Amino acid sequence: MFNSPAGKLVRSWLFQGVLYMSPDELLFRIAAEVAVIGAVWWLIADPVSWSGVLAVIVVHTLFWLVNSHFWALEIRKGVRLVKNRPQAVKNYLEALRGRCTRCRSIKWCFASGSLARGAFGVYSDLDVACIPRPGNWNRIVVLAFGMRERLIAAFKRMPVELYCYSEEALAHISPEECRLVLKGPGKADGDMQRWMSWDCFWDSPSEFFQQCE
């Protein structure tokens, strides 16, 4: 039952991708939702009974739709809610690259997963990782950036799964991947041995989108 399309929707609504978040990103996500629930509860507390429960349901559903990788949900094996179009994906990645460049708190941002393995297809998702510069303030800024970026992806109908990681997480990425660097120091760094620059990706999109037409 839980593997049916309806069951996957229910699980997605309940957990909203938080199982893959780092502890501080999870805390940031919970704090943001609790703050919005409190505001909604305060607005509707007088005229509506059970207003607290209603506030939780409304806000949790809103976060599910706009901040939980909704379009990346796999409703059936190998099938998502939207189909990828190469030009739309390239346009989104280029815009994301610009936003990352303007965010001084981001040290690295790169795409991994199927795109980095040259297996990006019509129902693939975009796995994106953001690494902040040292310092608690930079971490908070990047966590907020990630939340905003998931909101942008929701309105763009992009199947994006974006998380914020520490530098130590780089060691756990598959060595088979040639990660697309959207922002970062490049191959001079030991942890970024296998990488693809934006210019190279832009010049050779067919290598990444062979199954996407």
Averaged confidence pLDDT in the chain:
84
Residue with the bigger pLDDT between 57 and 86: it is 57
Q: Report yes or no: 82 and 154 within 8 Å, Cβ to Cβ.
A: no
15: pLDDT strictly greater than 60? yes
CA atoms of 51 and 160, how far apart (whole Å): 33
Question: What's the rounded Cα separation, in Å, for the pair 172 and 166?
Answer: 11
**Which has more pLDDT, 198 or 22?**
22
The answer to which of 10-14, 15-19, 64-68, 114-118 has the lowest mean pLDDT is: 114-118
Amino acid at 168: E
Query: Quick check: 170 and 106 in contact, CB under 8 A?
Result: no
Whether the pLDDT of residue 176 is over 70: the answer is yes
Higher pLDDT, 188 or 126: 126
pLDDT band of 136, cuts 50, 70, 90: very high
Share of residues in the chain with pLDDT > 90 (%): 44
Q: Which residue has the higher pLDDT, 59 or 184?
A: 59
Q: Structure pTM? A: 0.86
Predicted confidence (pLDDT) at residue 204 exceeds the cutoff of 70: no
Three-state DSSP class for 196? strand
Confidence of residue 188 (pLDDT cuts 50, 70, 90): very low
